[in-house]
Amino acid sequence: MKQPPRPRSLAAFAASIVLSPFSALAAQQPQVLSARVFDAPGKYGAPVFADLDGDGIVDVIDRDGTGALKWSRGAAAVTFDAAQALGPTQIHRCHAARDADLDGDLDLYLEAVPGNMQIQLWANDGAGGIAMAAGANTPGWFLSRPVIEDFDGDQIPDLAVASSDWSLYSATLAIRGLGLAGFAAPVQLGAGGHAVVAGDFDGSGSLDLLVATLNTPSRVFLNDGSGGFGPELTLAHNFPPAGLRSGDLDGDGRDDLTFIAPNFFPKLAIAGGASGFSPAWSIPTAVQPEWIDLHDIDLDGRLDIVLGGIAALQFVLAPGGAALQALPPIPLIAEAVAFFDNDANGVRELLTYKSYAYGLPPSMHVVQPVTSGEFKVHEYLGGYSADPFHDDFLLAKADLDGNGRTDLVFFPPKVSYVVEVRLAQSDGSFAQVVGTGIKASDFGLADADGDGVADLVATETNGLDLSFRKGAGDGTFALPVLSTSGIAGPTYIDVHDYDGDGHIDVCIGTEQTQIAYGSGTGAFAYPQILPGALYGARPGSSADLNEDGYLDPITEASHATVAPTLQWWLSNGAAGYAAPQNLPSALSSARVVTGDFDADGHVDIAHPLSNLAIEVRYGDGSGGWSHTAQIDLPLSGAAVLAADFDLDGADDLLIGRAAPTSGNDTLMLWSSSAGSGTAVSRYVGRCRSRALAFDGDLDGRLEVFTDSVWLIHNVLGDFTGGTAFGAGSAGCEGTHTLTTSRAPNVGASDFRFVCHGAPPQALGIGLIGAAADPGSDPLGIGLILHAGLGAPVVPFHVASSPSGSASRLAPIPNDPLLTGAVLHAQIVWPWKSSASCDPSPLLWSSTSGLTLTIQP
């Protein structure tokens, strides 16, 4: 049993926290959201997935539109370098990577351009350099995809191909491989066909060949064990070439067949003897497959089925003699897949590949599992028959029912104008609140009447009234109480306490920016126009820019009678507002996003310079800016949301796409720790202009909920040495799960504590000590603590950003005596009376506990 750390060790660690700066940044985590996007090296061909340079990491090889061979080198951080030329320039297709000369390096088998029917072997020098070693000329014009396997047992790959040029020539050829010396002369086995596959169909232990054509019975050539093939055996079945794959799916030692029947019906035929197969039966699927591949998806030692459809992938598990089990479809367009563990963490990633097809650019997607073996790009929470997608889909979040989880509220104004509520359940799913019947033009969630429960404040669809709907604490709301706004037409609002009196106010846009001050009862005074307000503005992400304790209103670009302009006003509380500060904008209706992108404790803003560039202005704490940086985007887009997704201590910038495409839509993420310029990661996701970040599964990492009602999971892994326990006293978005930026290793200078859902721009108190508390209220104030106060405890300060993300650098001293020490940490947060809940009688919340075991 581990002993508490010696006081000297605890004191040394505590001192390093207290003396550490707030602004030091950790390295960015490589992949944050479920499916990351990379440029594909090829454009029209089929890829080869292989470790070409021998570094233990899978690379991708394909040919581009000019026939040049390209190589995207894989990296340990599950990323891929930009494609580089590899060697040959007149390639029709890449076929496989095999060790032809048995030197431990993978060599490439390629097909020359049409008209030169040649399978070529290119030798690998072990560092990724390749040179042509040999070629096997094949008579005929049209080649099926060759089979490259060892047929004669000498461990050197051999070839089998069905060659045909319709009426002039047709043959099935076996070609013995001679390593780098080339190939033996082709041996004709029989007539050709449209596809050939290898498999042990008779259970002899040797690979046989099956040839399929479109309209005639399939044929089998049995291997005699030494690479010689017997006479052609005609089967009673006609297996179509589409989706033809072989593998032992029922565990009887004989390879079975999959294929795609006409009208996109995938089938499975079980091998049943020397040359026969059972009648084919349907593979369960919800997609219309265009191709089939076989992989061991669930790592049970048996092959499973991958179906690639027009709009989605689907995995079908084949558990031996049991019935096939179809998993939920994965909404990705792909033409090939692979599984690999490039980061060597023991968890396989899914790599999907799409060439230039469906009118979409070529791309690769690395999909990290949400849970072990579960690949989920997103969850759709809309509940509509179609996937609605509108640029003004409005979103809000709060713990509406007090169960410690973030609930979601949204509505599609161009569909129904009816507000939708989704309550988070204990298993991470969401339940729909039926029949809200609430119609609005815009809305926000806040405690407008001071009872500690989130209410719904909205502008009615007529645009003339502000409405207050009292929250019942179960996700439902009472009938509206109206306050006249005096503004005609649809209006947009932002709901905060702007004058610091503890009551919720409403900032109103569309015409001149105005504020309706709240009374604390749910009623609002007649709006007051802010000085110098321009027409056509929309309230943005308000923040305390000059750190005087009062929120400063910020409006997104006006777009009516003046050039697009961002505006913000420094508030003097009840004394009013200073003259506005104006910033010309490149785009009308452009978002301005507030966050702390450099972790210095000051508010920064991000706004568009164009569709392909965003400017970040770094705040100096006085309402001014210390410097700026430009983010260049690989795709057109606009800033949507700031939050610390990668746990590096600084807010990241989520960037949506103003003009999404069908299929594999892309959103982007920029992290300041990656630098400025083009350091932008791309992810599969659909988002235009609105999104929320929240910890949906209580693992301390932020998920994304977008204005397409897509829930996109955060897939950052857990770190050895840190274990959360207890739930603390939940905040207004639910439980704060305390986590860390990395494993707590001795000498880890970039180690930090991280949590989310904190009150914006607040100063919390961290506690770290030698004893854990399973959860008690030792202070008698209704605040649950997990850091035991009966043993030494060291307090430290923690600051949150405008996004509610918070972290504190806690360098671990390079002291070997700390190895194995066990410490327990927690953070408590003060909330304002205007918050959307009362976390405790004195308005404090607390995170979960966190047990740290210091690693070597």
The architecture in CATH of the region 722-854 reads Single Sheet (2.20)
Place of tokens 């846009």: 509
- Give the DSSP H or E segment for 17: helix 7-19
In three-state secondary structure terms, 458 is strand
Number of H helices, E strands in the chain: 1, 70
Q: Please tell me the predicted confidence (pLDDT) of residue 485.
A: 64
Which pair of structure tokens corresponds to residue 201? 């169909």
What is the rounded distance in angstroms from the CA atom of residue 607 to the CA atom of residue 298?
A: 45
Is the torsion defined by CA of 12, 17, 23, 27 positive or negative? Answer: positive
- Yes or no: say if 694 and 757 are a contact pair by the CB < 8 Å rule: yes
pLDDT at site 316:
95
Q: Residues 596, 651: contact at Cβ < 8 Å?
A: yes
**Residue 344, CB-side half-sphere exposure with 13 Å CA sphere:** 6
Paired tokens of 638 = 């606009």
- Rounded Cα–Cα distance for residues 295 and 350 (Å): 11
How would DSSP label each residue in 316-367?
A: EE--TTSPPEEPPPB----SEEEEE-TT-SS-PEEEEEE-SBTTB--EEEEE
Q: How many CB atoms lie within 10 A of CB 576?
A: 12
pLDDT at 399: 96
pLDDT in tens, 43-97: 766 799 999 998 999 999 998 888 888 899 998 878 898 888 887 777 888 889 9
- For residue 166, what pLDDT is reported? 52
Whole-angstrom distance, CA of residue 274 vs CA of residue 281? 20
Two tokens, residue 25: 């940044």
Alpha carbon distance 714, 712 (integer Å): 7
pLDDT, residue 3, reads 46
Q: How many CB atoms are closer than 10 A to CB 791?
A: 14
pLDDT at 19: 57
What is the structure's pLDDT at 386? 43
**800 close to 807: Cβ distance less than 8 angstroms:** no
Residue 408's contacts (CB-CB under 8 Å, 6 or more residues apart) are 381, 395, 396, 397, 421, 422, 424, 430, 692, 705
CA distance 46 to 38: 16
Q: How far apart are CA 501 and CA 504, in angstroms?
A: 9
Q: Which distant-in-sequence residues (6+ apart) come within 8 Å of 788 by Cβ?
A: 769, 770, 771, 772, 773, 824
Q: Is 403 exposed, middle or buried (0-12, 13-18, 19+ CB in 10 A)?
A: middle
The β-bridge relationship of strands 680-684 and 554-556 is unpaired
Residue 605 CA to residue 613 CA, distance in Å, equals 14
Residues paired with residue 162 on neighbouring β-strands, in sequence order: 172
In this prediction, residue 192 carries a pLDDT of 80
Q: Counting beta carbons within 10 angstroms of the beta carbon of residue 195, is it exposed (0 to 12), middle (13 to 18) or buried (19 or more)?
A: buried
Distance CA 393, CA 415 (A): 10
> Is the overall model pTM greater than 0.85, yes or no?
yes
Whole-angstrom Cα distance, residue 87 to residue 183?
21
Question: Rounded to a whole number, what is the largest CA-CA distance in the chain?
Answer: 97
The fold for domain 90-240 equals Methylamine Dehydrogenase; Chain H (2.130.10)
The two three-digit tokens of residue 300, written as one number = 């049970």
Cα separation, 716 vs 720, in Å, equals: 13
The helix or strand, by DSSP H or E, that contains position 12, with its residue range, turns out to be helix 7-19
Element (H, E) at 766: strand 763-769
Which is nearest to 515 in space by CA: 576, 450, 454? 576
Residue 222 has what pLDDT? 94
Q: What is the mean pLDDT of each run of 10 residues along the chain (856 residues)?
A: 48 62 52 91 81 91 86 87 82 89 92 72 86 75 81 94 65 88 88 89 93 88 93 88 92 92 87 74 92 93 92 90 88 91 87 76 88 83 56 83 93 69 91 79 91 91 79 93 69 90 89 88 90 84 94 80 82 86 81 92 93 94 94 90 93 83 76 64 88 94 91 90 95 95 93 95 95 94 94 92 94 90 96 91 96 95
Lookup: tokens for 455: 């209410």
Q: In the sheet that 581-584 helps form, which strands lie side by side, from edge to edge?
A: 538-539, 554-556, 565-568, 581-584
Residue given tokens 């202005």 in the structure block: 617
- C-beta neighbour count of 579 within 10 angstroms: 10
Burial class (CB in 10 A: 0-12, 13-18, 19+), 385: exposed
| Residue-level pLDDT at 344 | 83
Sheet holding 208-212, edge to edge: 195-199, 208-212, 219-221, 233-234
What lies within 8 Å, CB to CB, of 553 at 6+ separation is 494, 498, 507, 513, 515, 530, 539, 542, 568, 569, 571, 577
Domains 90-240 and 722-854 in one fold: no
**Residue 295 in 3-state DSSP?**
strand
Domain boundaries defined on the chain: 90-240, 438-590, 592-688, 722-854
87-145 pLDDT, tens digit per residue, is 777 788 888 999 999 999 999 998 876 555 688 888 998 887 888 888 777 665 556 78
Q: How far apart are CA 210 and CA 200, in angstroms?
A: 10
The predicted pLDDT at position 256 comes to 93
